[in-house]
Amino acid sequence: MARRVVRTPTATAPDLDARKALILEAVVIEHIDSAQPVGSSAVAASADLDVSSATVRSEMVALEREGYLAQPHTSAGRIPTDKGYRYFVDHLKSGVLGTVQQQQVKEFFAGVRGEVEDVLEQTSTLLSQLTSYTSVVVGAGHAHATVLSAQLVNLESRHHLLVTVFSDGSVVKHSVTPSFVATPKEVMEASKQLNALLIGTTLESRVQVPARHDHEAALVREAVSTLHAQQPVTDGEQVFIGGSSKVAEVFDGVETVRQVLAILEQELLVVSLVQDILDQGLSVAIGSEHGYEPLLACALIVAPVTIDGAPAGAVGLLGPTRMKYREAMAAAEVVSANLTRHFAGADDRG
Protein backbone atom coordinates (compact mmCIF):
# COMPACT_ATOMS: atom_id res chain seq x y z
CA MET A 1 0.00 0.00 0.00
CA ALA A 2 1.32 3.40 -0.97
CA ARG A 3 1.93 6.21 1.44
CA ARG A 4 -1.06 8.31 2.24
CA VAL A 5 -0.71 12.06 2.40
CA VAL A 6 -3.12 13.59 4.84
CA ARG A 7 -3.71 17.23 4.37
CA THR A 8 -6.48 19.69 4.67
CA PRO A 9 -7.05 22.05 1.80
CA THR A 10 -6.54 25.22 3.82
CA ALA A 11 -3.33 24.19 5.55
CA THR A 12 -1.70 23.65 2.19
CA ALA A 13 -1.97 27.07 0.68
CA PRO A 14 0.35 29.72 2.18
CA ASP A 15 -1.20 32.18 -0.26
CA LEU A 16 1.00 33.32 -3.05
CA ASP A 17 1.23 37.01 -3.73
CA ALA A 18 -1.47 38.29 -6.01
CA ARG A 19 0.55 38.36 -9.19
CA LYS A 20 1.98 34.90 -8.77
CA ALA A 21 -1.50 33.62 -8.08
CA LEU A 22 -2.77 35.18 -11.28
CA ILE A 23 0.07 33.69 -13.29
CA LEU A 24 -0.40 30.26 -11.79
CA GLU A 25 -4.09 30.42 -12.49
CA ALA A 26 -3.46 31.44 -16.07
CA VAL A 27 -1.05 28.56 -16.59
CA VAL A 28 -3.48 26.04 -15.12
CA ILE A 29 -6.42 27.29 -17.16
CA GLU A 30 -4.44 27.42 -20.36
CA HIS A 31 -2.90 24.00 -19.83
CA ILE A 32 -6.22 22.40 -19.00
CA ASP A 33 -7.51 23.83 -22.22
CA SER A 34 -4.61 23.05 -24.50
CA ALA A 35 -2.97 20.05 -22.87
CA GLN A 36 0.33 21.67 -23.76
CA PRO A 37 3.05 23.41 -21.79
CA VAL A 38 2.25 27.08 -21.40
CA GLY A 39 4.79 29.74 -22.25
CA SER A 40 5.37 33.07 -20.63
CA SER A 41 4.09 35.08 -23.54
CA ALA A 42 0.78 33.24 -23.58
CA VAL A 43 0.37 34.04 -19.90
CA ALA A 44 1.32 37.69 -20.39
CA ALA A 45 -1.29 37.94 -23.11
CA SER A 46 -4.13 36.14 -21.36
CA ALA A 47 -4.06 37.21 -17.72
CA ASP A 48 -5.07 40.77 -17.02
CA LEU A 49 -1.78 41.74 -15.49
CA ASP A 50 -0.01 44.40 -17.46
CA VAL A 51 3.47 43.03 -17.42
CA SER A 52 5.78 41.75 -20.08
CA SER A 53 6.60 38.14 -20.75
CA ALA A 54 10.03 38.70 -19.20
CA THR A 55 8.47 39.55 -15.87
CA VAL A 56 6.18 36.55 -16.15
CA ARG A 57 9.23 34.42 -16.79
CA SER A 58 10.98 35.54 -13.65
CA GLU A 59 7.84 34.90 -11.63
CA MET A 60 7.60 31.51 -13.22
CA VAL A 61 11.05 30.46 -12.06
CA ALA A 62 9.94 31.41 -8.56
CA LEU A 63 6.75 29.38 -8.92
CA GLU A 64 8.80 26.50 -10.19
CA ARG A 65 11.22 26.75 -7.27
CA GLU A 66 8.25 26.71 -4.88
CA GLY A 67 6.89 23.60 -6.55
CA TYR A 68 3.78 24.91 -8.26
CA LEU A 69 5.03 24.57 -11.81
CA ALA A 70 7.31 22.22 -13.68
CA GLN A 71 9.11 22.22 -16.97
CA PRO A 72 8.97 19.10 -19.13
CA HIS A 73 12.35 20.13 -20.48
CA THR A 74 14.36 23.30 -20.90
CA SER A 75 12.97 25.58 -23.53
CA ALA A 76 9.46 24.35 -23.12
CA GLY A 77 6.63 26.11 -21.35
CA ARG A 78 5.49 25.24 -17.85
CA ILE A 79 2.88 22.78 -16.72
CA PRO A 80 1.26 22.79 -13.28
CA THR A 81 2.38 20.28 -10.66
CA ASP A 82 -0.13 18.53 -8.40
CA LYS A 83 0.62 21.28 -5.89
CA GLY A 84 -0.18 23.84 -8.54
CA TYR A 85 -3.52 22.22 -9.29
CA ARG A 86 -4.19 22.03 -5.57
CA TYR A 87 -3.69 25.76 -5.18
CA PHE A 88 -5.89 26.38 -8.18
CA VAL A 89 -8.68 24.19 -6.85
CA ASP A 90 -8.50 25.63 -3.35
CA HIS A 91 -8.92 29.12 -4.70
CA LEU A 92 -11.57 28.24 -7.21
CA LYS A 93 -14.78 30.17 -7.01
CA SER A 94 -17.50 27.57 -7.26
CA GLY A 95 -18.73 27.38 -10.81
CA VAL A 96 -22.15 26.90 -12.23
CA LEU A 97 -23.35 24.31 -14.64
CA GLY A 98 -23.98 25.20 -18.26
CA THR A 99 -27.63 25.72 -19.05
CA VAL A 100 -27.77 22.61 -21.19
CA GLN A 101 -26.46 20.52 -18.35
CA GLN A 102 -28.76 22.19 -15.85
CA GLN A 103 -31.66 21.23 -18.04
CA GLN A 104 -30.37 17.68 -18.34
CA VAL A 105 -30.11 17.30 -14.57
CA LYS A 106 -33.52 18.79 -14.05
CA GLU A 107 -35.14 16.48 -16.53
CA PHE A 108 -33.34 13.50 -15.15
CA PHE A 109 -34.44 14.02 -11.57
CA ALA A 110 -37.92 14.91 -12.64
CA GLY A 111 -38.27 11.65 -14.48
CA VAL A 112 -36.26 9.19 -12.46
CA ARG A 113 -38.00 6.66 -10.30
CA GLY A 114 -37.58 3.16 -9.08
CA GLU A 115 -35.36 1.33 -6.68
CA VAL A 116 -32.37 3.00 -5.10
CA GLU A 117 -29.93 0.82 -7.03
CA ASP A 118 -31.51 1.72 -10.34
CA VAL A 119 -31.47 5.40 -9.51
CA LEU A 120 -27.81 5.27 -8.52
CA GLU A 121 -26.88 3.41 -11.66
CA GLN A 122 -28.69 5.85 -13.89
CA THR A 123 -27.16 8.72 -11.95
CA SER A 124 -23.71 7.43 -12.74
CA THR A 125 -24.57 7.47 -16.42
CA LEU A 126 -25.94 10.99 -16.09
CA LEU A 127 -22.84 12.28 -14.35
CA SER A 128 -20.54 10.89 -16.96
CA GLN A 129 -22.65 12.33 -19.75
CA LEU A 130 -22.68 15.73 -18.08
CA THR A 131 -18.94 15.92 -17.84
CA SER A 132 -17.48 13.39 -20.25
CA TYR A 133 -15.47 11.97 -17.40
CA THR A 134 -15.86 8.59 -15.82
CA SER A 135 -18.22 8.69 -12.90
CA VAL A 136 -18.25 6.70 -9.71
CA VAL A 137 -21.39 6.45 -7.61
CA VAL A 138 -21.11 4.73 -4.27
CA GLY A 139 -24.13 3.64 -2.25
CA ALA A 140 -23.47 3.14 1.43
CA GLY A 141 -23.69 -0.30 2.92
CA HIS A 142 -26.41 -1.24 5.35
CA ALA A 143 -24.13 -1.77 8.34
CA HIS A 144 -26.42 0.27 10.58
CA ALA A 145 -29.72 -0.63 8.98
CA THR A 146 -31.98 -2.82 11.04
CA VAL A 147 -33.76 -5.94 9.85
CA LEU A 148 -37.38 -5.36 8.97
CA SER A 149 -38.16 -8.86 7.87
CA ALA A 150 -36.45 -12.20 7.45
CA GLN A 151 -37.95 -15.05 5.55
CA LEU A 152 -36.80 -18.53 4.71
CA VAL A 153 -38.04 -19.93 1.41
CA ASN A 154 -37.46 -23.46 0.22
CA LEU A 155 -36.21 -23.69 -3.34
CA GLU A 156 -35.74 -27.39 -3.81
CA SER A 157 -34.87 -30.25 -1.50
CA ARG A 158 -32.03 -28.95 0.69
CA HIS A 159 -31.67 -25.57 -0.92
CA HIS A 160 -33.30 -22.68 0.93
CA LEU A 161 -33.10 -18.96 0.53
CA LEU A 162 -32.93 -16.54 3.42
CA VAL A 163 -34.39 -13.25 2.25
CA THR A 164 -33.71 -10.31 4.54
CA VAL A 165 -35.23 -6.87 4.18
CA PHE A 166 -33.45 -3.97 5.85
CA SER A 167 -34.76 -0.66 7.05
CA ASP A 168 -32.84 1.18 4.36
CA GLY A 169 -34.83 -0.67 1.73
CA SER A 170 -32.14 -3.10 0.74
CA VAL A 171 -32.94 -6.74 0.25
CA VAL A 172 -30.33 -9.46 0.44
CA LYS A 173 -30.56 -13.15 -0.10
CA HIS A 174 -28.39 -15.95 1.19
CA SER A 175 -28.41 -19.63 0.36
CA VAL A 176 -29.00 -21.92 3.29
CA THR A 177 -28.25 -25.55 2.54
CA PRO A 178 -28.37 -27.75 5.60
CA SER A 179 -27.34 -31.39 5.52
CA PHE A 180 -30.91 -32.62 5.89
CA VAL A 181 -34.18 -32.22 4.03
CA ALA A 182 -36.60 -30.14 6.03
CA THR A 183 -40.36 -30.42 5.84
CA PRO A 184 -42.36 -27.39 4.69
CA LYS A 185 -43.66 -27.11 8.23
CA GLU A 186 -40.15 -27.00 9.63
CA VAL A 187 -39.10 -24.34 7.14
CA MET A 188 -42.09 -22.21 7.98
CA GLU A 189 -41.43 -22.60 11.68
CA ALA A 190 -37.77 -21.68 11.21
CA SER A 191 -38.83 -18.68 9.17
CA LYS A 192 -41.04 -17.49 12.02
CA GLN A 193 -38.26 -17.92 14.54
CA LEU A 194 -35.83 -16.05 12.31
CA ASN A 195 -38.23 -13.17 12.05
CA ALA A 196 -38.60 -13.00 15.80
CA LEU A 197 -34.87 -13.30 16.27
CA LEU A 198 -33.60 -10.86 13.67
CA ILE A 199 -36.14 -8.07 13.40
CA GLY A 200 -34.70 -4.88 14.80
CA THR A 201 -31.13 -6.15 14.85
CA THR A 202 -28.30 -4.89 12.68
CA LEU A 203 -25.64 -6.97 10.95
CA GLU A 204 -23.35 -6.07 13.80
CA SER A 205 -25.64 -7.24 16.58
CA ARG A 206 -24.96 -10.56 18.17
CA VAL A 207 -27.98 -12.78 18.22
CA GLN A 208 -28.86 -15.55 20.65
CA VAL A 209 -29.47 -18.61 18.52
CA PRO A 210 -31.31 -21.65 19.88
CA ALA A 211 -29.06 -24.51 20.92
CA ARG A 212 -31.64 -27.23 20.40
CA HIS A 213 -30.92 -30.13 18.11
CA ASP A 214 -34.06 -30.27 16.00
CA HIS A 215 -34.31 -29.32 12.34
CA GLU A 216 -35.83 -25.90 12.95
CA ALA A 217 -33.08 -24.85 15.30
CA ALA A 218 -30.43 -26.13 12.90
CA LEU A 219 -31.97 -24.16 10.05
CA VAL A 220 -32.14 -21.02 12.15
CA ARG A 221 -28.54 -21.40 13.27
CA GLU A 222 -27.31 -21.92 9.75
CA ALA A 223 -29.33 -19.02 8.40
CA VAL A 224 -28.11 -16.60 11.06
CA SER A 225 -24.50 -17.59 10.68
CA THR A 226 -24.72 -17.25 6.91
CA LEU A 227 -26.23 -13.81 7.26
CA HIS A 228 -23.59 -12.64 9.69
CA ALA A 229 -20.78 -14.12 7.66
CA GLN A 230 -21.00 -11.23 5.23
CA GLN A 231 -18.65 -8.38 5.88
CA PRO A 232 -20.87 -5.69 7.33
CA VAL A 233 -18.76 -2.77 6.19
CA THR A 234 -17.88 -3.53 2.64
CA ASP A 235 -20.30 -6.10 1.43
CA GLY A 236 -23.44 -4.11 1.23
CA GLU A 237 -21.77 -1.27 -0.55
CA GLN A 238 -22.62 -0.75 -4.13
CA VAL A 239 -20.53 0.87 -6.79
CA PHE A 240 -21.77 2.06 -10.12
CA ILE A 241 -19.28 3.17 -12.67
CA GLY A 242 -20.47 5.17 -15.62
CA GLY A 243 -18.72 6.04 -18.81
CA SER A 244 -15.65 3.90 -18.50
CA SER A 245 -15.17 4.45 -22.22
CA LYS A 246 -14.39 8.07 -21.37
CA VAL A 247 -11.14 6.81 -19.90
CA ALA A 248 -9.96 6.12 -23.41
CA GLU A 249 -10.93 9.65 -24.41
CA VAL A 250 -9.39 11.77 -21.71
CA PHE A 251 -6.22 9.94 -20.90
CA ASP A 252 -3.46 9.63 -23.41
CA GLY A 253 -1.22 6.63 -23.57
CA VAL A 254 -2.61 3.12 -23.83
CA GLU A 255 -0.76 2.11 -20.72
CA THR A 256 -2.39 4.79 -18.61
CA VAL A 257 -5.79 3.84 -19.95
CA ARG A 258 -5.16 0.21 -19.09
CA GLN A 259 -4.04 1.03 -15.57
CA VAL A 260 -7.01 3.23 -14.84
CA LEU A 261 -9.43 0.66 -16.21
CA ALA A 262 -7.75 -2.00 -14.12
CA ILE A 263 -8.28 0.11 -11.02
CA LEU A 264 -11.92 0.68 -11.86
CA GLU A 265 -12.42 -3.07 -12.09
CA GLN A 266 -11.56 -3.46 -8.44
CA GLU A 267 -14.69 -2.04 -6.98
CA LEU A 268 -13.68 -2.49 -3.37
CA LEU A 269 -10.62 -0.42 -4.03
CA VAL A 270 -12.70 2.31 -5.60
CA VAL A 271 -15.00 2.38 -2.61
CA SER A 272 -12.16 2.71 -0.14
CA LEU A 273 -10.54 5.34 -2.31
CA VAL A 274 -13.66 7.47 -2.32
CA GLN A 275 -14.13 6.83 1.39
CA ASP A 276 -10.57 7.88 2.17
CA ILE A 277 -10.99 11.13 0.35
CA LEU A 278 -14.24 11.89 2.11
CA ASP A 279 -12.65 11.03 5.46
CA GLN A 280 -9.94 13.57 4.81
CA GLY A 281 -12.62 16.14 4.30
CA LEU A 282 -11.53 16.74 0.74
CA SER A 283 -13.66 17.14 -2.28
CA VAL A 284 -10.85 16.69 -4.76
CA ALA A 285 -7.82 14.43 -4.68
CA ILE A 286 -5.17 15.31 -7.19
CA GLY A 287 -2.42 13.05 -8.45
CA SER A 288 -0.37 11.78 -5.56
CA GLU A 289 -2.81 13.00 -2.93
CA HIS A 290 -4.87 9.83 -2.88
CA GLY A 291 -1.79 7.68 -2.58
CA TYR A 292 -2.49 5.13 -5.29
CA GLU A 293 0.38 5.01 -7.67
CA PRO A 294 -1.54 3.74 -10.69
CA LEU A 295 -3.73 6.80 -10.39
CA LEU A 296 -0.92 9.34 -10.33
CA ALA A 297 -2.20 10.85 -13.54
CA CYS A 298 -5.73 11.14 -12.16
CA ALA A 299 -7.77 13.56 -10.18
CA LEU A 300 -10.85 12.39 -8.34
CA ILE A 301 -13.68 14.69 -7.40
CA VAL A 302 -16.11 13.48 -4.76
CA ALA A 303 -19.28 14.85 -3.25
CA PRO A 304 -21.14 13.15 -0.42
CA VAL A 305 -24.79 12.18 -0.57
CA THR A 306 -26.77 12.16 2.63
CA ILE A 307 -30.11 10.88 3.77
CA ASP A 308 -31.52 12.82 6.71
CA GLY A 309 -28.08 14.19 7.42
CA ALA A 310 -26.45 10.78 7.64
CA PRO A 311 -23.88 9.82 4.98
CA ALA A 312 -25.53 7.58 2.44
CA GLY A 313 -22.91 7.41 -0.25
CA ALA A 314 -21.08 9.64 -2.63
CA VAL A 315 -20.77 10.60 -6.24
CA GLY A 316 -17.42 11.03 -7.88
CA LEU A 317 -15.73 11.93 -11.11
CA LEU A 318 -12.45 10.53 -12.31
CA GLY A 319 -10.39 12.40 -14.85
CA PRO A 320 -6.85 13.39 -15.66
CA THR A 321 -5.15 15.86 -13.31
CA ARG A 322 -5.73 18.42 -15.99
CA MET A 323 -9.48 17.98 -15.85
CA LYS A 324 -11.99 20.80 -15.99
CA TYR A 325 -12.29 21.20 -12.25
CA ARG A 326 -14.80 23.95 -12.15
CA GLU A 327 -17.35 22.33 -14.40
CA ALA A 328 -16.79 18.86 -13.00
CA MET A 329 -17.02 20.00 -9.39
CA ALA A 330 -20.17 21.90 -10.16
CA ALA A 331 -21.66 18.83 -11.79
CA ALA A 332 -20.74 16.58 -8.87
CA GLU A 333 -22.17 19.03 -6.37
CA VAL A 334 -25.38 19.62 -8.25
CA VAL A 335 -25.95 15.91 -8.77
CA SER A 336 -25.17 15.00 -5.17
CA ALA A 337 -27.50 17.71 -3.96
CA ASN A 338 -30.25 16.50 -6.25
CA LEU A 339 -29.67 12.95 -5.16
CA THR A 340 -29.85 13.95 -1.52
CA ARG A 341 -33.06 15.79 -2.19
CA HIS A 342 -34.43 12.90 -4.21
CA PHE A 343 -33.94 10.44 -1.39
CA ALA A 344 -35.19 12.82 1.25
CA GLY A 345 -38.34 13.44 -0.71
CA ALA A 346 -38.86 9.88 -1.85
CA ASP A 347 -41.54 9.15 0.75
CA ASP A 348 -43.65 12.13 -0.03
CA ARG A 349 -43.96 11.48 -3.70
CA GLY A 350 -45.34 8.67 -5.82
- Please pick, from the candidates 1, 17, 48, 73, the single residue that binds DNA as defined by CB under 7 A: 73
Q: How far is CA 25 from CA 8, 120, 130, in A?
A: 20, 35, 24
Binding window for a second copy (CB under 8 A); candidates: 47-55, 65-73, 171-179, 282-290: 171-179
Contacts of 145 (CB under 8 A, 6+ apart): 166, 167, 168, 170, 202, 203
- Please pick, from the candidates 32, 69, 247, 286, the single residue that binds a second copy as defined by CB under 8 A: 247
312 binds DNA (CB under 7 A): no
156 binds a second copy (CB under 8 A): yes
Q: Which does 174 bind (CB under 5 to 8 A by kind): DNA, a second copy, none?
A: a second copy
349 binds a second copy (CB under 8 A): yes
Question: How far is C-alpha 120 from the geometric centre of its chain's CA atoms?
Answer: 11
39 binds DNA (CB under 7 A): yes
Taking the C-alpha atoms of residue 178 and residue 181, their distance in angstroms, rounded to an integer, is: 7
106 binds a second copy (CB under 8 A): no
Nearer to a second copy, 62 or 161 (CB): 161
How many residues touch DNA under the rule CB under 7 A: the total is 26
Residue 6, H or E segment: none
Helix (H, G, I), strand (E, B) or coil at 239: strand
CA angle, corner 348, sides to 343 and 350, nearest 5?
A: 90
Nearer to a second copy, 67 or 200 (CB): 200
Q: Which does 77 bind (CB under 5 to 8 A by kind): DNA, a second copy, none?
A: DNA
Count of beta carbons in the 10 Å neighbourhood of residue 287? 18
84 binds DNA (CB under 7 A): no
Binding track, positions 40-59, relative to DNA; x by CB under 7 A? xxx-------xxxxxx-xx-
Closest by Cα among 303, 166, 339 to 236: 166
- Please pick, from the candidates 16, 22, 24, 60, the single residue that binds DNA as defined by CB under 7 A: 60
- Please pick, from the candidates 16, 24, 68, 77, the single residue that binds DNA as defined by CB under 7 A: 77
CA angle, corner 168, sides to 138 and 145, nearest 5?
A: 95
Contacts of 112 (CB under 8 A, 6+ apart): 119, 122, 123, 342
5 binds DNA (CB under 7 A): no
Residues that bind DNA (CB under 7 A): 36-42, 50-55, 57-58, 60-61, 64, 71-78
